[in-house]
Structures are given as structure tokens and as C-alpha cells.
Amino acid sequence: MPLAVQAFRSLELPASIQRQVHIKQREGGYDEATMVESFVVLNALGGECLEDFTHLRGDGGLKEILGHEIPSPEAARQFLYQFHAVEKIEEAKQRRDAEQIAFIPEENEVLAGLGEVNRELVQELGRRCPEQRIAAVDQDATIIKRATKSKPCEAMQASAA
């Protein structure tokens, strides 16, 4: 988990999130980058559901490592709701042909911003590892490095050390 947080921060993802992801203004609470980092931590520690945030909140050492508290399951749920746009889903349903079952809604502004963060991340990885040309993303979003003739990215090894 500490390496995941270090990579998250060294790749300047908090700044990218602050530039690209704009959630509706709220009183107090966590900023967007802190929320996304908390989900990265949840995933790195094997969390499977929002209620797992409750267990993480009780870990004082984790708070010390991160420099912030972990959000409650309800705060995390409310954050995720901002990426869900009922109106976009309804629009997509209306556009489909009568015999079609599936539909793909357009992204709302918040989800599009998260997509921009992903693009910036891939660009930064490309900048740091110009010799690395191939990566595969599995269905569960696990990145699998394929064997190539190029050397491992020394910049990424240095940032993880």
C-alpha cells in the first residue's frame, strides 16, 4: 500500500485530479484527490466494498502514513454518485432502437474529467518510460507487462524505490 500511494503521488495524480475532476461544491469534507487516493488505498489493501472503509478508518497507522483520514462508507458512496448521471442513462435509452437491449450513456462532466486524469497518467508514464511500447490491461484492470526486448523502465523503478 505505501508503494501504491507513493506511485499515486509521484505521478502527480493529485494535481491532475484537482485540474480535471470537479465535484459539486460541498461544505467541508474531502477534496477529489483525497477521495480518489482513498479508493486506491482501499483497492491496494484488498477492499471489496464501501463498508471496508470502516475498517480502514480504524487504523491509526494508515492515517499517519497518508496524512489524512479515510472517508466513511457514506462519504465514499456520495462521491461515487457524482459519476452517475441518470439523465445520460435515460437519454441513451431513448436513442436506442426498439429491438436493442443494450445502451451506452454519454459521460457526464465528472466522469469525463476522470478520463482526462487517466490520459494524463498514460502520457506521464510514456514520458518516463519512452522505450516501453506495449502494455495489456486485463478485464479487471490489472496491468500485465508483456515480454519485450526493451529494458524495464528505470524511471518507474526509481520512483517506486
Task: Provide the grid cell at 160.
Answer: 517506486
- β 143-144/136-137 pair status: antiparallel
The string over 132-160, giving b where at least 16 C-beta atoms fall within 10 Å of a residue's C-beta and e elsewhere, is beeeeeeeeeeeeeeeeeeeebebbeeee
Whether 70 shows a pLDDT value over 90: the answer reads: yes
Average pLDDT over residues 89-105: 90
| pLDDT over 90 percentage in the chain | 66
pTM for the full model? 0.77
**98: pLDDT confidence band, cut at 50, 70 and 90?**
confident
Q: How far apart are CA 79 and CA 68, in angstroms?
A: 17
Reported as a single tens digit per residue, the pLDDT across 27-45 is: 678 999 999 999 999 999 9
